[in-house]
């Protein structure tokens, strides 16, 4: 009997790796055109929503793959690692934006 791939791992991988790339690119290009702030905000919210959905789905996929000794554990781990990396980068990006926006001047 052939082992099926874990659906939750596949969904987590798609949401955390594949779906985030075009959304972040759209947000970057919207950021270059500063007059389109609402599109930039929507794209960043969509990207972070996809990352969180990918994180939860990947975590669920890894847990169920571990219980059932099924396939899909590798995709789940990849989805988890990319989700965690993207969350850390997003938090660092927000910190830099708030730091620059707070008016702190750099010393020479």
Does this model's pTM top 0.85? My answer is no
- Map residue 32 onto helix, strand or coil: helix
**Cβ neighbour number for residue 36 with a 10 Å cutoff:** 14
pLDDT at 12 over 50: yes
Burial of 16 (C-beta count, 10 Å sphere; 0-12/13-18/19+): buried
How confident is the model at residue 74, as a pLDDT? 86
User: How far is 73 from 79, CA to CA, in rounded Å?
Assistant: 10
Question: What's the mean pLDDT when you consider all of the chain?
Answer: 79
User: How far is 102 from 100, CA to CA, in rounded Å?
Assistant: 6
Q: How confident is the model at residue 81 (pLDDT cuts 50, 70, 90)?
A: very high
pLDDT at 2 over 60: no
- 38-47, 54-63, 99-108: range with highest mean pLDDT: 54-63
């Amino acid at each position: 009997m052939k082992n099926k791939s874990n659906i939750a791992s596949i969904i987590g991988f798609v949401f955390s790796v594949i779906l985030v790339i075009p959304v972040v690119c759209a947000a970057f290009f919207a950021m270059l055109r500063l007059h389109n702030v609402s599109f930039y905000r929507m794209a960043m919210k969509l990207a972070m929503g996809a990352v969180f959905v990918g994180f939860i789905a990947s975590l669920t996929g890894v847990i169920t793959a571990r219980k059932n000794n099924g396939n899909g554990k590798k995709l789940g781990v990849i989805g988890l690692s990319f989700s965690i990396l993207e969350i850390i980068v997003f938090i660092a990006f927000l910190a830099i934006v708030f730091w620059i926006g707070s008016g702190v001047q750099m010393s020479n």
